[in-house]
């Protein structure tokens, strides 16, 4: 399933024996740690935040939030059809699917777009990367009784403190406390999207289930966005703004997702997850070049602290 930038939800995936070198730059054991697929996926996702932020200057938030998932879902269903894979979901699984799609995925997509519209791309990227692992670990602790060890407690303390520092000192460049809190709520919704449909991911595969969840989110936006969609047809955004939308829908939510799934299936979830640490760096660099955003010393310290904390939380 997909993250703000389209990121797939990794389940507990076991790597095939001796396949770490299959997805490498040179194919030799010397570069066995390098996954080209995972690297490209994270680079694409890192660009999603500043590129989407750029488009929101011309698109209505509701129009962007509606068109993007519908394009992505349509493309994913098309790919599945071309592969000859089944598209359906068993009737008994529809309650969980609808709850996950019209509930969790819709709330996540709404929080992502509205949060990004009210804060900086830099803050959005940092919160999206640090929030779900930290919040997920806390929820699993409270709901499932998965008690953290000392390392995990340290990670939760550092990560939570870093996020609090980042949100509490929004600074310049359009970052606001409200936008950061909405982005944090989106991270919480993403945890629900990860946990609730997990049995369906194992039954139908990530791509098929992701397509349905994204379609549900897009359909859920339609009743709220009809006036915004009509305004978009009357006052068409520029080609660059449309290019931004297609980038986030096609590359961010489909191509990167496919590459990520390939990396996870070949070298395992534990080997691919560390690549996600590159996402904030890519987003911050592009935000500086494209939007002129800069993190202040306090914000930078909060972001680094959050990422260190996430690194201490077990990847599983």
Rounded CA separation 6/311 (Å) = 21
- Confidence band of 82 (pLDDT split at 50, 70, 90): very high
Residue spans of alpha helices (H) in the chain: 36-55, 61-82, 94-98, 106-118, 121-144, 150-168, 177-195, 198-204, 206-234, 239-246, 256-267, 269-272, 278-291, 297-312
Instruction: Enumerate residues 6+ apart whose C-beta is below 8 A from 41.
Output: 7, 256, 257, 259, 260, 263, 275
pLDDT for 18: 42
Instruction: Enumerate residues 6+ apart whose C-beta is below 8 A from 147.
Output: 141
Instruction: Enumerate residues 6+ apart whose C-beta is below 8 A from 62.
Output: 221, 224, 225, 228, 229
CB 183 within 8 A of CB 124: yes
Average pLDDT, the chain: 79
**259-310 pLDDT, tens per residue?**
877 776 677 666 666 677 777 778 777 777 777 777 677 767 777 777 777 6
Rounded CA separation 302/299 (Å) = 5
- Confidence band of 10 (pLDDT split at 50, 70, 90): very low
**DSSP symbol at 117:** H
Give domain limits for the chain.
Answer: 48-312
CB 114 within 8 A of CB 62: no
- Confidence band of 28 (pLDDT split at 50, 70, 90): very low
Encoding tokens for residue 308?
A: 């260190």
Q: Which residue has the higher pLDDT, 154 or 111?
A: 111
**Which regions of the chain does DSSP assign to beta strands (E)?**
none
Rounded CA separation 176/189 (Å) = 20
Rounded CA separation 288/311 (Å) = 25
Residue in the structure block whose two tokens are 């972001």: 303
Q: Which of 123, 139, 263 is nearest to 192 (CA)?
A: 139
Rounded CA separation 280/43 (Å) = 10
Quick check: helix, strand or coil at residue 168? helix
**141-161 pLDDT, tens per residue?**
777 777 777 777 787 777 777
CB 303 within 8 A of CB 280: yes
CA distances from 24 to 30, 34, 36, 242, 254 (A): 10, 5, 6, 34, 21
Instruction: Enumerate residues 6+ apart whose C-beta is below 8 A from 10.
Output: 264, 269, 272, 273
How many C-alpha atoms does 211 have within 13 Å on its Cβ side? 21
Residue 33 has pLDDT above 60, yes or no: no
Residue in the structure block whose two tokens are 């994913």: 76
**227-253 pLDDT, tens per residue?**
999 999 998 999 999 999 999 999 988
Residue in the structure block whose two tokens are 């496919």: 258
Write phi, then psi, for 42 (nearest 5 degrees): -70, -35
């Amino acid at each position: 399933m997909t993250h703000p930038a389209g990121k797939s939800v990794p389940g507990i995936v076991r790597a095939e024996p001796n396949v770490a070198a299959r997805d490498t730059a040179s194919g030799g054991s010397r570069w066995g740690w390098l996954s080209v697929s995972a690297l490209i996926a994270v680079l694409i996702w890192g660009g999603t935040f500043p590129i989407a932020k750029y488009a929101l200057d011309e698109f209505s938030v509701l129009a962007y939030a509606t068109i993007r998932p519908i394009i992505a879902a349509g493309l994913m269903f098309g790919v599945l059809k071309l592969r000859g894979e089944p598209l359906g979901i068993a009737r008994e699984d529809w309650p969980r699917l609808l709850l996950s799609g019209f509930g969790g995925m819709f709330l996540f997509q709404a929080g992502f777009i509205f949060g990004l519209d009210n804060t900086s791309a830099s803050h959005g990227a940092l919160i999206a990367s640090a929030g779900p692992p930290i919040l997920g670990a806390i929820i699993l602790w409270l709901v499932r009784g998965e008690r953290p060890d000392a390392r995990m407690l340290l990670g939760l303390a550092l990560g939570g403190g870093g996020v609090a520092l980042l949100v509490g000192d929004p600074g310049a460049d359009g970052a606001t406390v409200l936008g950061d809190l909405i982005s944090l709520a989106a991270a919480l919704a993403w945890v629900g999207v990860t946990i609730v449909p997990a049995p369906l991911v194992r039954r139908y595969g990530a791509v098929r289930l992701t397509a349905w969840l994204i379609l549900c989110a897009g359909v859920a936006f339609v009743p709220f966005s009809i006036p915004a969609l009509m305004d978009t047809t009357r006052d068409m955004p520029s080609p660059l703004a449309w290019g931004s939308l297609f980038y986030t829908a096609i590359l961010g939510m489909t191509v990167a997702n496919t590459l990520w799934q390939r990396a996870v299936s070949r070298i395992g979830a534990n080997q691919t997850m560390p690549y996600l640490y590159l996402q904030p760096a890519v987003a911050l660099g592009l935000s500086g070049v494209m939007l002129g955003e800069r993190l202040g010393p306090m914000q930078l310290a909060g972001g680094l602290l959050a990422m260190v904390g996430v690194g201490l939380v077990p990847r599983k």
